Amino acid sequence: MINQIKKNIKDFLDNKYEGINLIVEEPKDKKMGDLSVPVFPIVKTLKRPLNDVVNEVKELLQNNFKVIKEISNVGGFINLKLNKEDLAFNIIKEVLDKDSHYGESKMGENKLTALDYSSPNIAKSFSIGHLRSTIIGNSLKLINQKCGYKTYAINYLGDWGTQFGKMIVAYNLWADKEKVKEDPINELTKLYVKFHEEAKNKPELEDEAREAFRKCELKDPEYLKLWEYIKDESLKESEQIYKLLKVDFDSYKGEAFYNDKMDPVVDELMAKKLAYLDDGALIVNLGDDMPPALIKRKDGGSLYMTRDLAALLYRKKVLNFDKILYVVGNEQKLHFEQLKKIIELMGYDFKDEVYHVGFGLYLVNGKKMSTRQGGVTKLYDVLEKAINLALEQINLKNPNLANKEDVATKVGVAAVLFNDLKNHRELNIEFDLNSCVKFEGQTGPYLQYSSVRIASILKNQELDLNNLDETVYDNDDYFDIIKQLSNFTNTIEKACLDNAPSYIAKYLLNLAQSFNKLYSLYKLNVSDDKVRNANFALIKAIRIVINEGLRLLGIDYLNEM
């Protein structure tokens, strides 16, 4: 609402002083007012005396905006004090009336966002390395929905490619079939690691892997049967993770789905004279600013680029998305720049609808984890440990809590998710499980606990909005929080535009800290009915926003913990 007031004032002045781009800002010194309008651009453009301009603008604002309580100026800065009591009450009432719908935007109305995220490789354990794509993508889906977009979530499974040829070679050479049957993913992961260890001294294994994958592409029935088995077992493990994280998808079409869709794309590239042979391989020249894109290897095998081109063209045709987000690590930046450039060269007009939402790595002791070197950290093990640590804290703080195990699960998962999402996605993250499960500090459990504290205060209490003392909100400690509440929609829209869930995470931390400061400074459950109702209305609004913000991050809120 305050942002809307700022916009209304700016629009009014821009219309009055056409062609002069004025700003409406919040003064750094709160004593100066709630909003400030520097009028120097008017003075400079119209070459009028400063005092004349100041007096004119003051009169215009006073006559046209009832929400303004006082107007003063210091030099060329016009400072506005708003009618905080009415404004605060209206903001709080809007939150209470809209409840979980508060913060919704129409920014994406009648538009579709497609999202490609998670995308684990089959035949490998679901590692913590896949956590970032999974939860950033899921949060962006929820944020886009909050902004009015329809969404279509795609789990583009890594179920094809040379790495599967490596798995076939390893399976045929070293697999204990009974052990694989008993514990498929762990045993297959060991085989994958063994392949890379052996290939250091036997480089011919790499050639065997390429040949094995070529046979897959030629639909060798024995190899395809093995592929189906491994894919099914991998999905069983992934679903266990997704259920715990409460992540779901509209499509599980992986790389293999596009096998029969690649040749038409290659034919189109050839017909448009974009692809040509270079030393036996098929490439597309992308100009001086980036290296050429490899479309087919010498042996005729397809590559990521071939499949991603086929997938992108298929998705545009079938979904007709307004934008598509590829939530994939920073190291794939060049790949997506090449993909967009090829689309442009092919004559398609939607390259600007394609976004690479890059993110940094999870580091363990400063080093990247690698499945092929056996350094994988299983995500399920991490989540299980986080849940156990949460249960230990609950047993210490509230041993008689009902449904302790369920609460511990939600707290443990919140700890892992928030530890990631509070950081800007492009940053690398050093993972420290013990610190992120704490109930204080910049953690998910801290936000859950702040919401629970409010629930405890309001439990069995009556709230009468028709009998409250609005003058309470004139206090800066109160009004600062109300301004934060009014900024929720704006924060969500920015998070959507920049594909940055961290904006919401940081907003929630600031809001929770403001509430806990208020709780420490003032008694909220007072004997005066009107003051108590004013306090309760505010903190109930805070809880609604914290809970909804947590939901947008994929985190459950709690009533007790």
Give CA–CA dist 158/118, Å, rounded: 10
Residue carrying structure tokens 């976004």: 355
Spatial separation of the C-alpha atoms in residues 463 and 10, rounded to whole Å? 37
Inter-residue contact 425 to 357 (CB < 8 Å): yes
Q: Specify the residue for token string 């099914």.
A: 232
- What is the pLDDT at residue 319? 98
H or E element, residue 116: strand 112-116
pLDDT given at position 218: 85
Q: Residue 71 has what pLDDT? A: 96
Going 285 to 286 to 291 to 295, the CA torsion angle's sign is negative
Task: At 202, list the tokens.
Answer: 């036997």
Determine phi and psi for 225, rounding to 5 degrees.
-65, -45
Q: What is the pLDDT of residue 463?
A: 95
Residue 373: the pLDDT is: 46
Q: How far apart are CA 463 and CA 535, in angstroms?
A: 10
Q: Are 305 and 346 in contact (CB under 8 A)?
A: no
Half-sphere exposure of 536 (CA within 13 A, CB side): 23
- Cα radius of gyration (the chain): 29
> What mean pLDDT value characterizes the chain?
93
Give yes or no for a contact between 293 and 283, defined as CB atoms under 8 angstroms apart: yes
Distance of CA 246 to the CA centre of its chain: 15
The string of DSSP letters for 15-77 reads HHTTT-----B--SSGGG-SEEEE-HHHHHHHT--HHHHHHHHHHHHHHH-TTEEEEEEETTE
Separation between Cα atoms, residue 411 and residue 439, nearest integer Å: 9
Nearest to residue 299, comparing CAs of 196, 157, 195, 162? Answer: 162
Burial class (CB in 10 A: 0-12, 13-18, 19+), 35: buried
Q: Dump the DSSP string for 444-464.
A: HHHHHHHHHHHHHHHTT----
For residue 295, CA distances in Å to 163, 317, 385, 490 come to 17, 21, 43, 42
d(CA 293, CA 334): 10
The per-residue pLDDT string of the chain (561 residues; one tens digit each, 9 = 90 and over) reads 888 999 999 999 999 999 998 999 999 888 889 999 999 999 999 999 999 999 999 999 999 999 999 999 999 999 999 999 999 999 999 999 999 999 999 999 999 999 999 998 887 778 887 899 999 999 999 999 999 999 999 999 988 878 888 999 999 999 999 999 999 888 988 898 899 999 999 999 999 998 998 888 888 999 889 888 888 888 888 998 999 999 999 999 998 899 889 999 999 999 999 999 999 999 999 999 999 999 988 877 668 899 999 999 999 999 999 999 999 999 999 999 999 999 999 999 999 999 999 999 988 677 775 544 445 578 888 999 999 999 999 999 999 999 999 999 999 999 999 999 999 999 998 878 888 999 999 999 999 999 999 999 999 999 999 999 999 999 999 999 999 999 999 999 999 999 999 999 999 999 999 999 999 999 999 999 999 999 999 999 999 999 999 999 999 999 999
SS3 540: helix
For residue 298 the two structure tokens come to 């010498």
Which pLDDT does position 371 carry in this prediction?
45
Cα–Cα distances in angstroms (integers) from residue 299 to residues 227, 266, 269, 293, 296, in the given order: 21, 15, 19, 16, 8
Q: What is the pLDDT of residue 335?
A: 97
Q: Which of 530, 485, 490 is nearest to 508 (CA)?
A: 485
The DSSP code for 121 is: B
Global pTM reads 0.91
pLDDT at residue 129, rounded to an integer: 78
Helix, strand, coil tally for the chain in percent (to 5): 60, 10, 30
DSSP symbol at 474: G
Rounded distance between C-alpha atoms, residue 246 and residue 239, angstroms: 10
- Residue 454: the pLDDT is 98
Structural contact between residues 292 and 306, judged by C-beta atoms closer than 8 angstroms: no
